[in-house]
Structure 1
C-alpha cells in the first residue's frame, strides 16, 4: 500500500522536533494568553484542545487527518490519506456518517486570522493554540453570539469546531468537552509539561436528540455515535469452503465474554475491501481514525473470524481500529479512543461483559489455540495503545485495589512518562524514539542488565526475547493482574509463563500497584498442570457427526506453588465450522469447568479440577511457597 510520507511516520530514533520560538514557554501560559487575546474562556479553549489532541504538540507531525499541534488544526492541502478520502466502500465520501464535509479547524484559515504563515502553525505550539482560539471566536461570531466569559455560552461554537456534519456526533463532541470542563483534567504532555484544567462543576451539559433517522436497521450502536453498515458476506466460495463468518444466535446459544481490540495495520479503505471478500477474515466493527466514525460488518449475534482462535471468536466481539501500531501519534486519535470506548461501554452493558483486562482484550492478548500456532499470533494494538486512558474513558479506571505489598499486582505504569526502549519502528534493530507506553518489560533477575525472560512458545528454537516492538515474549501490559513471586528492593517478580519474571517497581515511580482478587494454584499432589489456549468440551460431550477437537497443551509450565490471577470461570464449548449452513451451527457444550488465567502477555485456560482457588491476602507477604517475599 502507498501513502504520503507525512502520514507514514514511525517512531524514529532521535530527539523530539523543536517546537519553534515558543518551545521554552509553558503550555499552560500559552492557553491563558491565547484565551485572553481572542476573548475565549480558557476552560473552553483547553477543553477543545484536550479533545483534539490531549494537549500534545508533536510539532510538524500530522495526524491521519492532517491535523497539527495541540488544537489539531487541519491543513487540507497536506491531508490526503485514503483513510479520510474514502467512504465505507472505498469510494469518495459524500455525507457518510461522521465524515468531515466541512472543516472548521482549518489551519490555513486560522493562519489568516492570526496573521501568521501557515507553516508556523504546524511547528509553533503558541501559534497553533492562538489559531484555535481565533477559530473558536470566529465561530462564535458567525453564530451571532457574544464573546462571553461564560463557558456555557460557547456550546454551539464547540459543536461546530468538531468538524462533523452529523448533528448527533457534533452534540456528543460538545458534551464531551463540557463534561471535561466540569470534571477538570491534569496530564503530562508529550513534551513533558504538566497541564491542568481546573474543574468547573457548575457547567452544564446539553440534552440532544440522538435519534438516527437514516441509520441502517442492521446497525447495533449507541445512538450518539455516527454508525453505518457494510456487511461481510456469508456465501459459499469456489474452493468448496465459505466465508467469512458464522451464523449464530448469541447470546442465547453462546454467551459473549470478550471484546477484542485490534488495529488494522492498513488503511481503512483496504480493510473495508478485505471484509467484503469471502476468502478473507471478518470482524464486527471498524472505527475510522480521523473522526471516530463506526462501520459495522457482522451482526453481534453472529461469529466473526477475527482473533485467530475459534473458541475466542465464538465468545467475542471484534473491533478494528484504523491505524499502525508503530505510528501511534498519527493514528491513535482521541476521537477514535472516545468513539471506541463509547461503543465498548454500550456493548459491555448490553451483553454483560466485565470491564477488565481479562475480558477487554487486545488482539495481542488472545491465546493461540494450539502450541504450533503461537508464533503466528498477532501483536496489535501494540505497546503504544494507552490502556490506562482507554479504561478511564470506559468509566472503569485501572487503579490499586489493595496495599502496595499485596500478593497480587496490577500492571499500571504512567503512560506519558513510562518510556521503555523499543526497536524496529522504522527498521529492524534500529531504536524507536522514546514514547509513552503501556508495556512493562520483564527480566530473569532483579537487574537492569539481566537477560529478558524467554517465551518458549513464541521462540520455540530457544531464541532470546528482544526489545523489538513486535516481540511480546518478555512484557506485560497495563491493567493485567499477576500473582507476586518475590520482591527485592525496587524490583517485583511475578509468575509469568511458569517462571519468575522481574520488573523495576519503585515506590516513587511504580509500574504496578497492589491488587486484590482470586488466584489459582495446582491442587496438592500435582507437580504441574497443563495450560491451554482454549477451553474445549470433554470427549463425551461431542454428538455424533461433530468432529472432536484435539487438545493441544501450550508449551508453558504451571508448576506446584505457582499462582496466576483469574477473573472468570467458564464451561468448555465448541462450535463446528465444517460446513456452510443456512442456520446457526449447534454449540457443543461440555460440563467440565475451566478457569481463565493471566498466564503471560496472553490469557490461557486451566481445568478447574486441576487447581485450587486462593483469595488474595490484600496486603502483606504472599503465603506459603507461592510467592516468597524476598528472592532466595
Structure 2
C-alpha cells in the first residue's frame, strides 16, 4: 500500500548503510564560508598548495558534503576519503539485482538468466584512504566521515604523504604536485591516474566557484600557465592498460575488456549480437545505467559468455572506462530489443539507492566525455529523448512492463550531466509555452524516499539532492500519488526509491495540463498529474516544442513499447512480430511531447551465425512520446502533431 505523505526527516537523521551508522553532519547549518576556510587551514597545516587541495576535492565531490553519506565507491566527504567498511561485500548474483527484466528484451528469442554468483574481489588500498587519513591526522574515522573540515584535513594529509613518498618537495608551486594528485586517484592504470590529474589541473587553470549542496560558498581562483612536472607521475610505476581497439576519445582513460561472442550448447549463444551499425541500423539512443554493484565484479560478469552484456563500464573513484562490446554490435542491456538494436549502453559503478550513495565528479566527467564522443560519431542528439536512463526504457509487452529496471535512479544528477555534455538544460518559449521541462535545483530538491537501506528496506532515506519530483492526483502535498496500471495493476504507487511510477525526472518534457497557484499539472500515463512548482524555487521551466494529440474522431490512442514494422514488411523467412499495444491509452484532449520520429524496424538476430541476421524495415511510422517516466511510442497515423 502507498504510505501517507511522509514528514521530512530532521538534520540529525541517522541511517544504516552496510550495517554502519552514518550521521548527517551538523555542518549543514554552518556559516556559508566555513568550507573555504577549512581548505585554507588544511592547506597551510600540511603545506599543500590550496589550489591543489581545492582542485582534487572538486574532481572528487565538487566540494559537497553529501549529507555525510558514502559515494558509490565508499568515499566520504569533500575529499572522498574511502572507507572499505562501508562497502556492500555481499556476493553479487547479477549486475542489477532489481526485478526480473530480460536484458535482451526480444520475445522471438527469450533469454533465461542463470544465477551468476560473483564473490567480491580483494579490497584494494585505494578504498582504504580514510583509514590512512586517520593515522596521519589522529582524527577518528567517524570525524573523517561526518565532519567536512576534518575530512578536508585528512585529504591534505594524504596528498602531503603521497608527495613525500615520491621524493617530491612540499612546494608552493602547484605544478610540482602532479604525481601526488595522480596517486590520489587510487588508479592502478597509469592512463587513469594521468587523466584524473589532468582534469584536476585543468580545473586549477580555469578556476571555478560554486555553492555546495549544503550552502557553502567555495571558490578556486584560476592559476593559468601551469607546467605540470610529469616526472613525478613516472615514479608511480603504474600499468598501462590495453587500449588497442577501444572506441573512446583520447582525453579519457579507456581499455578493452571484451565480452565474449561465443556459441553455447543446445544451439544457444552469448552474450551479445553482431551487427553493422550504423550501416544496417541507426543508433538513436545512449542508455545510462548503474551497475547495482562494483566495477571489478561487474567486469567479471560481462566476460561470462552465458551472461548478458553492455558496451562500456565506468569506474567510480577515477572515471576509468572499460569497453566490452564494439559499438557496431548490439549489447543485451536495456530490456527492450527494439531499444537494444538502436542504442549503446553505458554502465556506471554504483547503486540506485544503496544508502542513497552519490556519484563522483570524476565518473560524471569521463562518462560525459564518452557520451559526447559517441553522440558525435553516431549523430545522436544530446537531449533527454535520446540520452535516456535505463529507467526510461519502456516494457515491450503488457506482461513485461512491471519488471523493467529503474536505474540510474533519482540521485543521478541529469542537469549537471548535461552541463558536462555541453548542452545545458534550459527553458524555451516563455510563459506562453504549453509544455514544460522538469528542472529542479538538484541540491535543494530533496523529496522523501524510503528503501535505501538493504537491511531495513522500509526505513526512510536520508534527505539529499534528487533529480525527480513526485506527481499527485490533486494540487496539494497530502494528495495521493498518481497510479501506474502497468507497474501496479491493483495497487498504489510507492515512495520507494526503486519505484518511479509517480515521478517525473530532470530534462523530461511534458505537455502542460493545468496550473493552480504553486502547482503545475502535466499529462502523464493517461491522467492529469500535479507537482509542486513554486515561483520561488521552480521545479520546471517552460519548454516549447512538438506535441501529439489524438486525431479528430478518435476517442483514445494506444501506446506501444517498441516501433515494429507492419506484417507486409516481413520476408517469408522472418516470423511476423505482432504489434501489441501496452495497457495504457490516452484520450482525446490529452497531449504528450514528441521526442523523435521512427520508422518501423525489427532486427532478426536469433542465431550465432551473423550472416543469418535480417533487418526488416516497414512503412509504418511512429512517434516517440514522453508518456510517463518512460518513453513510449504511438503510430503517426493515430495522432496530430502541433507546437505547444
Fold similarity call, TM over 0.5: yes
Q: Is structure 2 residue 229 aligned with structure 1 residue 179?
A: no
Partner of 1:272: 299
Contact 2:318 2:363 in 1 (8 A): yes
Q: 1:217 to 1:48 in 2, by over 3 A?
A: closer
Contact 2:196 2:318 in 1 (8 A): no
Offset at residue 493 of structure 1 (A): 0.5
Offset at residue 106 of structure 1 (A): 3.8
Partner of 1:195: 217
Secondary structure of residue in 1 paired with 2:195: helix
Q: Is structure 2 residue 157 aligned with structure 1 residue 147?
A: no
- Separation in structure 1 between the aligned mates of residue 542 and residue 68 of structure 2, nearest angstrom: 40
Offset at residue 431 of structure 1 (A): 2.0
Matches within 5 A, 1:602-621: 602-616=630-644
**Counterpart among 242, 247, 260 of residue 215 in structure 1:** 242
Partner of 1:550: 578
Partner of 2:39: 31
**Counterpart among 441, 460, 466 of residue 414 in structure 1:** 441
Contact 2:190 2:240 in 1 (8 A): no
Contact 1:13 1:431 in 2 (8 A): no
- Separation in structure 2 between the aligned mates of residue 332 and residue 447 of structure 1, nearest angstrom: 32
Partner of 2:411: 384
- Separation in structure 1 between the aligned mates of residue 191 and residue 57 of structure 2, nearest angstrom: 20
- Separation in structure 1 between the aligned mates of residue 184 and residue 643 of structure 2, nearest angstrom: 50
Offset at residue 473 of structure 1 (A): 1.3
Secondary structure of residue in 1 paired with 2:200: helix
Offset at residue 90 of structure 1 (A): 7.9
Offset at residue 344 of structure 1 (A): 1.4
Partner of 1:4: none
**Counterpart among 608, 621, 630 of residue 580 in structure 1:** 608
- Separation in structure 1 between the aligned mates of residue 27 and residue 270 of structure 2, nearest angstrom: 50
Q: Is structure 2 residue 318 aligned with structure 1 residue 318?
A: no
User: Deviations 1:150-195 (Å, cap 9, x if unpaired)?
Assistant: 6556545433433335343333223322333414131332xx2323
Offset at residue 79 of structure 1 (A): 7.4
Q: 1:549 to 1:92 in 2, by over 3 A?
A: closer
Partner of 1:619: none
Offset at residue 542 of structure 1 (A): 0.7
User: Deviations 1:50-105 (Å, cap 9, x if unpaired)?
Assistant: 21222233587544545333212345788796999xxxx989989xxxx97x7599
- Separation in structure 1 between the aligned mates of residue 50 and residue 372 of structure 2, nearest angstrom: 31
Partner of 2:11: none
Offset at residue 568 of structure 1 (A): 1.2
Partner of 1:170: 193
Q: 1:78 to 1:188 in 2, by over 3 A?
A: closer
**Counterpart among 54, 61, 81 of residue 62 in structure 2:** 54
Q: 1:266 to 1:356 in 2, by over 3 A?
A: same
**Counterpart among 258, 277, 289 of residue 316 in structure 2:** 289
Partner of 2:52: 44
Q: 1:404 to 1:161 in 2, by over 3 A?
A: farther
User: Deviations 1:515-538 (Å, cap 9, x if unpaired)?
Assistant: 122112222232222211111112
Partner of 1:521: 549
- Separation in structure 2 between the aligned mates of residue 267 and residue 158 of structure 1, nearest angstrom: 24
Q: 421-430 or 52-61: which moved more?
A: 52-61
Secondary structure of residue in 1 paired with 2:399: helix
Contact 1:535 1:571 in 2 (8 A): yes
Q: 110-119 or 284-293: which moved more?
A: 110-119
Q: 1:25 to 1:592 in 2, by over 3 A?
A: closer
Contact 1:521 1:564 in 2 (8 A): yes
Listed as ranges, the gaps of 5+ residues in structure 2 are: 1-14, 93-116, 234-238
Offset at residue 569 of structure 1 (A): 1.2
Partner of 2:104: none
- Separation in structure 1 between the aligned mates of residue 635 and residue 21 of structure 2, nearest angstrom: 46
Offset at residue 284 of structure 1 (A): 1.2
- Separation in structure 1 between the aligned mates of residue 217 and residue 82 of structure 2, nearest angstrom: 23
- Separation in structure 2 between the aligned mates of residue 238 and residue 139 of structure 1, nearest angstrom: 52
Listed as ranges, the gaps of 5+ residues in structure 1 are: 1-6, 617-632
- Separation in structure 2 between the aligned mates of residue 377 and residue 581 of structure 1, nearest angstrom: 29
**Counterpart among 515, 540, 544 of residue 487 in structure 1:** 515
- Separation in structure 1 between the aligned mates of residue 550 and residue 228 of structure 2, nearest angstrom: 55
Q: 1:405 to 1:433 in 2, by over 3 A?
A: farther
Matches within 5 A, 1:369-518: 369-426=396-453, 427-461=456-490, 463-518=491-546
Offset at residue 374 of structure 1 (A): 0.5
- Separation in structure 2 between the aligned mates of residue 301 and residue 67 of structure 1, nearest angstrom: 35
- Separation in structure 1 between the aligned mates of residue 562 and residue 287 of structure 2, nearest angstrom: 15
Secondary structure of residue in 2 paired with 1:540: helix
Partner of 1:158: 181
**Counterpart among 144, 166, 179 of residue 121 in structure 1:** 144
User: Deviations 1:453-488 (Å, cap 9, x if unpaired)?
Assistant: 111111222x11121122221111111011111111
Offset at residue 492 of structure 1 (A): 0.4
- Separation in structure 1 between the aligned mates of residue 306 and residue 485 of structure 2, nearest angstrom: 32
- Separation in structure 1 between the aligned mates of residue 426 and residue 20 of structure 2, nearest angstrom: 32
- Separation in structure 2 between the aligned mates of residue 376 and residue 251 of structure 1, nearest angstrom: 30
Offset at residue 321 of structure 1 (A): 1.6
TM-score (norm 1): 0.85
Q: 1:331 to 1:581 in 2, by over 3 A?
A: farther
Secondary structure of residue in 1 paired with 2:350: coil
Q: 340-349 or 113-122: which moved more?
A: 113-122
- What RMSD over aligned residues (CA atoms) do the two structures have, in Å? 3.5
Contact 1:409 1:481 in 2 (8 A): yes
Q: 1:470 to 1:590 in 2, by over 3 A?
A: same
Count of residues in Structure 1 that have an aligned counterpart in Structure 2: 595
Secondary structure of residue in 2 paired with 1:390: helix
Secondary structure of residue in 1 paired with 2:17: coil
Partner of 1:345: 372
Offset at residue 495 of structure 1 (A): 0.9
- Separation in structure 1 between the aligned mates of residue 382 and residue 28 of structure 2, nearest angstrom: 42
